[in-house]
Amino acid sequence: MKENLKAGLLASLFVLIGFPIIFTVGSIVSGDWRYLIFSIGPILTAGLTSLLFTLHHMKKKSEIR
């Protein structure tokens, strides 16, 4: 199975950078900051987990070569 590590890295960075921007805009538009507050935990959990997993596999792949 071919691993597409660049796509995984881009997806995790989008989760860590893009989602907070989306929720910030949604909070500004709605005036309810709970959208942003309650989204920070899941965003960090998903984004950091996938980022660490992807970086670990990138390091492992570079050691093999």
Find the Cα–Cα–Cα–Cα dihedral 45, 50, 52, 55, rounded to 10°: -160
pLDDT band at 2 (very low <50, low <70, confident <90, very high): low
User: pLDDT tens digits for 4-59?
Assistant: 889 999 999 999 999 999 999 999 999 999 999 999 999 999 999 999 999 999 99
Question: Looking at the whole model, is its pTM more than 0.75?
Answer: yes
